[in-house]
Amino acid sequence: MTHAAGAPWWANAIFYQVYPRSFADSNGDGVGDLDGVSAHLDHLSQLGIDAIWLNPVMVSPMADHGYDVADPRDVDPLFGGLVALDRLIAEAHARDIRITMDLVPNHTSSAHAWFQAALATAPGSAARQRYIFRDGLGPDGEIPPNNWVSVFGGPAWTRITEPDGTPGQWYLHLFDAEQPDINWDNPEAFEDLEKTLRFWLDRGVDGFRIDVAHGMAKPPGLPDMANPDIEMLTLDDDDPRFNHDGVHAIHRGIRSVLDDYPHAVTIGEIWVFENEDFAKYLRPDELHMGFNFRLVRAEFDATDIREAIENALAAASLADASPTWTLSNHDVEREVTRYGDGATGLARARAMAMVMLALPGAMFLYNGEELGLPNVDLPDEVLQDPVWERSGHTERGRDGCRVPMPWTGDAPPFGFSSNPDTWLPMPAAWASLTVERQLADPDSTLAFFRTILQLRRRRFHFTDYDVEWLQLRDDAVAFLSGGVLCVLNTGSTALPLPPGEFLTASAPLVGGELAPDSAAWIATD
Ligand code: GLC
């Protein structure tokens, strides 16, 4: 990738997020695994990516599909164990693809040996001090210690039964009850994380996506939330559950370990929208990069999109860090559906991919994005996301964006698995979206992604993280970046294109002009 001399490999890199359960299943159990990823590395090489981000593959009861880690220094047999990861690292490296992993420091699984020890010992024990246990309020301690809610719905506290059989203390879990939050005031938390970091880095991993990187530290006294009715999976900037200042010391600790492995990168999941606060995570002795979710939140609207880009650039620039861009991941509705579904949603998703890939910084594509997959409306009985149960069946959760990838053939499971009983059912209508089908069609979304990823590599020359805005029309977004002009038409009439060498567009031009819901790249040098 072209970038400023001396910039690290990740500065303008293309990361491809593999949701391991849903990428490819090598052993016919209906769930994707790491040998499945190794078997499809050609697909990723041909796309032209620099790195893979693997969602968690550590040992887990899978209450939150791997974000509930029972042993942070081993790979779950479901995904093929450590040997399968070693194979993937070797085979990816042989193709110049780096491997980054998810790291989950905010909580463990309730099956983790630490939590089991906490349950087996009395209040106040050393084992209890590794988590956040409190006595309940009310005469019999039957009221949770504060009003915090779980991000997945319901209270953020669960009451345990003490070893002597009496109703006992409560423990904090910002997510599922099977994901108890670690007490980061206890030095053992960092000592153990350091072991985990070194374990994976010594095995050849090239970095980490850090889960809930704005969590971990909790405010003293655990004050009540002002707004416990907050909509699920959305976060306020003044929410006491997150973004407590103490978190920065933890990131400095992580960075001091990473500095022993200069090839490796950390990218924090940071749901913080005040630019000054966001930038704090990217100070030179903290994370290398932070996920900025503004583009995910932006509507398909010229003003919204421009504001999202300006803010994300400003936030990264405050810390002199590389900006990051993403349109989707395993937690949000797929962009084709967000932008209106059907032909319109797909056209807009393709246009937005060109907007994103024209920007300076690191890109995060989510598996299936290159196929133009939409979200899937799944029937109640197959839903697996803990959000569905915890919300009392009012929120369907995130399964709809996690349906397995269609590779080949005319019927489910489309070469994803040899087993028709895939962990989430695949829609028959995806016959037209398989990798195989799209490879045979020069106008497919896959062909389009290959073209734009190649053009980004060849024609953009990023020397800094600035873009220059052009005002063409109120319903257009236009900016110069890396020597290329990107124009997006969010309006309902065709848009005349400025002069220059036309590189490509996300939809055919109409009478030489840019069609509604499409974007174009024009070289200016
Ligand atoms: C992050 C992950 C999400 C997970 C949660 C709890 O937000 O992206 O998938 O459920 O953390 O670990």
Give the pair of three-digit tokens for residue 515: 């069609």
Residue 6 has pLDDT above 90, yes or no: no
For 394, counting Cβ atoms within 10 Å of its Cβ (0-12 exposed, 13-18 middle, 19+ buried), the class is: exposed
Out of 1.10.238.10, 3.30.70.1400, 3.30.460.80, 3.90.400.10, the CATH code matching 113-172 is: 3.90.400.10
CATH architecture of 14-106+187-445: Alpha-Beta Barrel (3.20)
Residue identifier of the C-alpha nearest atom 12 of ligand 1: 67
Residue to mutate (ligand 1; options 57, 67, 291; most atoms within 8 A of CB): 67
* Averaged pLDDT score across all residues of the chain: 96
Pure H helices in 425-466:
435-439, 445-459
Out of 3.40.50.300, 1.10.3720.10, 2.60.40.1180, 2.40.70.10, the CATH code matching 467-523 is: 2.60.40.1180
Tell me, in angstroms, the distance from the centre of ligand 1 to residue 53's CA.
14
Tell me, in angstroms, the distance from the centre of ligand 1 to residue 459's CA.
36
Give the pair of three-digit tokens for residue 204: 């050849």
Summarize the confidence of residues 464-479 as an average pLDDT: 97
Which residue type, as a one-letter code, is found at position 304? D
Residue 1 has pLDDT above 70, yes or no: no
Give me the pLDDT at residue 231, please: 72
- DSSP symbols for 379-404: -GGG---HHHHHTTSS---SGGG-PP
* CB of 64 shorter than 6 A to ligand 1: yes
Give me the pLDDT at residue 97, please: 98
For 441, counting Cβ atoms within 10 Å of its Cβ (0-12 exposed, 13-18 middle, 19+ buried), the class is: exposed
Summarize the confidence of residues 248-275 as an average pLDDT: 96
Tell me, in angstroms, the distance from the centre of ligand 1 to residue 30's CA.
22
Say what the pTM is.
Answer: 0.97
| Distance (Å, whole) CA 428 – CA 424 | 13
| Distance (Å, whole) CA 394 – CA 345 | 25
Residue identifier of the C-alpha nearest atom 4 of ligand 1: 67
End-to-end Cα, the chain, rounded Å: 18
> Domain coordinates of the chain in residue numbers?
14-106+187-445, 113-172, 467-523
Summarize the confidence of residues 355-367 as an average pLDDT: 98
Give me the pLDDT at residue 298, please: 96
